[in-house]
Chain A
């Protein structure tokens, strides 16, 4: 095993453990926004698309980079905006109830 592989594996395992711990007792109303928020985070693959773009030099490579970049950008931008809309709605409801 190379040193980078061992380092990457260490990071992977510790991140998995953090991921297991970071979700605690979530009220069920927050399940969908939380899923959507996590969905936006894996839009980080847009950085991956940028990294492969740096080294692409064939027509096939360019086609793959284009679709990877478009898909990833859609995931990240749409993911955050739709999550924010969900939570905005969530925020307003208790206020409306209080005013009643």
Chain B
């Protein structure tokens, strides 16, 4: 391991430590704000280290660099504007939107890796580690993307807060899940590339919608927390795809802590998670 390699890995480790300590400080009201700031400092360190990594390797094309900077500036600007201007009461749905784009980004990262490997034929020669984690990343990321947007829509009142039930919903759910599982299996078996992956993503996007629609608006905070844990898991999978330890650590951290938080939130509302997921009757939004 060269000197710069060691430095990069140690800096990523420091960033990951900031996330763990920051999350821990957020358990108590007195230290919560400091915890979030520590976690943000870790994020700045991680992004700075990644910039250093790109500069050292120097393999990024000019177009790639321009596209990356344009994307980051646009996304940062939109995120900053939305976070600054949102009313306090509308914050939960904004968090859900941020969660949606996070899940979407995790899925897109897997797509980009597959495109790099050569698209249609690319996954045939890829290792089991790559194919399995690409499949999981895209499925979980896409479900979170559409599911979080529906959850945000329900809280914002764009979609009825009442459970939306229609005939054949369960059948549709099962069919979409079957398509996603079959697609992932085909990819793992080495028969699919970007096209199979697109079909999997489309089915998972549909599944996210049909999973969240039947849940009442009053249960949305718990659902958003659950989807937040999903995104963490998708990011950990992206870490496997790219062989990036910092992504695995941060993703798994959010996946696990998000699950615990989901249970705590459900308990605080006197609801059980299976009852929320099954959804439907008697869970209508209290505000109508």
A-to-B contact residues, CB < 8 Å: 2, 4-5, 8, 11-12, 15-20, 22-58, 60-62, 64-91, 94
Q: Complex Cα distance A42/B265, Å?
A: 20
Closest to B127 in A: A2
Contact check: which of A11, A71, A94 meets B108 at CB < 8 Å?
A: A71
Chain B residues in 8 Å Cβ range of A49 = 68, 71-72, 105, 108-109, 112
Among B20, B98, B106, point to the contact of A82 (Cβ < 8 A).
B98
> Is B80 within 8 A of A78, CB to CB?
yes
Chain A to chain B: the 9 pairs with minimum beta-carbon distance, closest first: A19-B256, A78-B79, A69-B71, A73-B75, A15-B252, A70-B75, A81-B83, A75-B102, A68-B108
Q: Could you say which residues of chain B place their CB within 8 Å of the CB of A29?
A: 29
Nearest residue, chain B, Cβ from A51: B242
Q: A53 is contacted by which of B60, B240, B246, B255 (Cβ under 8 Å)?
A: B60
Most chain B C-beta atoms within 10 Å of own C-beta, residue among A23, A71, A91:
A71
CA distance A49 to B71 in the complex (A): 10
Chain A residues lying within 8 Å of B109, measured Cβ to Cβ, are 45, 48-49, 51-52, 68
B285 to chain A, nearest CB (A): 17
Tell me, in angstroms, the Cα distance from A29 to B24 when the chains sit together.
16
Name which residue of chain B comes closest to A91, CB basis.
B33
Chain B window 39-53, contacts with chain A (Cβ cutoff 8 Å), 1 for yes, 0 for no = 110010011001101
CA distance A35 to B78 in the complex (A): 20
Q: Could you tell me the distance between the alpha carbons of A12 and B254 in the complex, rounded to whole angstroms? A: 11
